[in-house]
């Protein structure tokens, strides 16, 4: 029997991506996971401090069988985490005490450039 060697190269150039929200959707042929990271940003515009939110996202598309394997692996790892450390508490959703208002265009133009 002839031994066949395959060279494997692993790319570690992308930094770790911290996620604070994920949106999951699907089509008949794939699952889409959109991982989002939101962080505040403060810039000076002249002498005025301008606050903004920076949103980055990474989208992963999975074959349905891979999505099912991922679901099982995630479930298993969450169970191991909770056994080793503590139960992950999910806060109850807060109900809005006021209705969400429709978007209104600002009356003054934005001074933020960025």
pLDDT of residue 97: 52
pLDDT at 88 exceeding the cut of 70: yes
> Looking at residues 66-73, what average pLDDT do you find?
97
Spans of all domains in the chain: 21-84
pLDDT at 65 exceeding the cut of 60: yes
Q: What is the pTM of this model?
A: 0.61
> Looking at residues 78-85, what average pLDDT do you find?
97
**pLDDT-based confidence at residue 94 (cuts at 50, 70, 90):** low
**Cβ-based neighbours of 34, under 8 Å, separated by 6 or more:** 22, 23, 24, 25, 57, 58, 59
Work out the widest C-alpha separation in the chain, in whole angstroms.
Answer: 77
pLDDT at 99 exceeding the cut of 50: no
**pLDDT-based confidence at residue 8 (cuts at 50, 70, 90):** confident
What is the residue-averaged pLDDT of the chain? 82
- What's 46's DSSP letter? T
């Amino acid at each position: 029997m002839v031994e066949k060697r395959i060279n494997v190269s692993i790319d570690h150039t992308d930094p770790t991506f911290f996620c604070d929200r994920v949106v999951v959707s699907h089509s008949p042929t794939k699952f889409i996971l959109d991982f989002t990271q939101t962080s505040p940003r403060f810039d000076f515009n002249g002498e005025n401090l301008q606050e903004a939110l920076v949103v980055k996202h990474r989208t992963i598309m999975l074959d349905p069988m891979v999505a099912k394997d991922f679901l099982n692996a995630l479930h298993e790892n969450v169970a191991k985490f909770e056994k080793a450390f503590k139960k992950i508490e999910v806060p109850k959703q807060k109900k809005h005490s006021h209705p969400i208002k429709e978007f209104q265009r600002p009356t003054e133009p934005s001074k933020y450039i960025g």
